[in-house]
């Protein structure tokens, strides 16, 4: 699921809430640690590729050089005496000056983290899990940052970084770079170490992003899908705020539930009550004024749909008509890609 989400340009921009990591904790010993590292590497390469394509910034950096027949910037007197005057080279002058270059401290952090990602990607063969796309992002970044120096990155450097103005686009790549360096080592010139700190995957969020990929594919690129990303609430402060998962302008409200075989008959009363509350939640969405303003076309019949994961082949069905009177809930079973072990 993660590979499909990362390959979609609009969905991949909202993947940061699908996983969490605690680099300051003791590393884990887990069978899925390698898969998680690959997820982080893929997310970093994708974010870095977007940065290199649109928002990569040059900075004025200090350079010291022994110039011939000219003076530029400030003369380094002691260095000039030691390198030139005592050796009978008065035609040369050691100067310190500024140049506008990509070789800035921020870009050096990104370059070093990218080098560690490239080492990690060499451990995987074939095209499983969208590897070709990840390698393509990495190659694009490597070409763009070819002139940036590789060096060891100290963790304390991240605490002194202040991002504002035109550098706000660096925030997400730098956060991921910190994670990459904590997992794979901070020295790109040394041996790579593969430690995995404690992490958590938010499968509800990941399934929601995967459903978004399927919906955008089904809509064939039409820009009539409203998506309830984090904090993208509808309504005003003096009323109830709601955030449906998806709204299609032709009168469709869609909710993604990471509950396997959601419409099946539950085994106990608690799960039945939970399912009913899921339905009541969608009914609240359908009656909200802010949601109605996005639906636009009020003449057609309103459709309420629940997308849920399943491991079996199932046709779309309609359930709970009798419980809701004139309303019906359409169900959309989503077959998940399962990795073979």
Domain borders along the chain are 19-55+105-201, 59-101, 203-335
Residues 192, 116 contacting (CB under 8 angstroms): yes
Q: What is the pLDDT at residue 27?
A: 73
Q: What is the pLDDT at residue 8?
A: 82
Distance, in Å, from the CA atom of 321 to the CA atom of 337, rounded to the nearest integer, reads 31
CA dist 181 to 17, 115, 238, Å? Answer: 20, 10, 45
Strand partners, 201: 19
pLDDT in tens, the chain (341 residues): 887 887 887 887 788 788 888 767 777 766 666 677 888 888 899 889 989 988 898 889 899 999 999 999 999 999 999 999 999 999 999 999 999 999 999 999 999 999 999 988 888 775 555 678 888 889 999 999 998 999 999 988 888 888 888 888 899 899 889 988 888 888 888 776 777 778 888 889 999 999 999 998 888 877 788 888 877 778 776 667 888 899 888 778 899 999 887 777 655 555 667 777 888 888 888 888 888 888 876 556 788 888 988 876 655 555 555 455 556 788 888 888 765 43
The burial class, CB within 10 Å (0-12 / 13-18 / 19+), for 304 is buried
Q: Determine the 3-state secondary structure of 331 from DSSP.
A: strand
Distance, in Å, from the CA atom of 177 to the CA atom of 108, rounded to the nearest integer, reads 11
Fill in the DSSP letter of residue 249.
T
- pTM for the model stands at 0.70
Q: What is the pLDDT at residue 72?
A: 93
Reported residue count of the chain is 341
Q: What is the pLDDT at residue 268?
A: 54
CB atoms near residue 241 (< 10 Å)? 12
Residues 216, 11 contacting (CB under 8 angstroms): yes
């Amino acid at each position: 699921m993660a590979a499909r989400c990362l390959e979609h340009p609009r969905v991949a921009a909202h993947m940061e809430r699908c996983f969490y990591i605690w680099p300051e904790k003791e590393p884990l010993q887990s069978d899925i640690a390698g898969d998680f590292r690959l997820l982080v590497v893929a997310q970093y390469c994708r974010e870095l590729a977007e940065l290199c394509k649109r928002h990569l910034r040059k900075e004025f950096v200090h350079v010291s050089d022994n110039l011939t027949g000219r003076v530029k910037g400030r003369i380094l007197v002691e260095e000039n005496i030691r390198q030139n005057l005592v050796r009978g080279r008065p035609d040369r002058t050691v100067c310190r000056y500024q140049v506008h270059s990509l070789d800035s401290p921020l870009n050096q952090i990104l370059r070093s983290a990218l080098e560690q990602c490239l080492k990690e990607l060499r451990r995987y063969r074939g095209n499983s899990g969208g590897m070709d796309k990840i390698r393509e992002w990495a190659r694009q970044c490597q070409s763009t940052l070819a002139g940036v120096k590789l060096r060891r990155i100290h963790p304390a450097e991240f605490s002194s970084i202040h991002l504002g103005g035109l550098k706000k686009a660096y925030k997400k790549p730098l956060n991921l770079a910190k994670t990459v360096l904590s997992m794979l080592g901070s020295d790109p010139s040394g041996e790579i170490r593969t430690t995995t700190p404690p992490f958590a995957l938010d499968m509800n969020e990941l399934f929601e992003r995967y459903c978004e990929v399927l919906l955008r594919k089904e809509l064939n690129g039409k820009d009539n899908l409203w998506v309830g990303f984090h904090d993208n609430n509808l309504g005003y402060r003096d009323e109830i705020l709601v955030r449906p998962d998806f709204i299609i302008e032709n009168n469709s409200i869609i909710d993604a539930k990471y509950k396997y075989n959601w419409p099946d008959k539950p085994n106990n009363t608690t799960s039945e009550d939970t399912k009913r509350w899921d339905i009541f939640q969608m009914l609240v969405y359908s009656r909200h004024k802010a949601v109605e303003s996005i639906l636009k076309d009020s003449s057609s019949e309103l459709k309420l749909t629940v997308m849920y994961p399943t491991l079996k082949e199932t046709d779309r069905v309609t359930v709970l008509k009798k419980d809701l009177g004139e309303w019906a809930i359409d169900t959309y079973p989503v077959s998940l890609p399962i990795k073979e072990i």
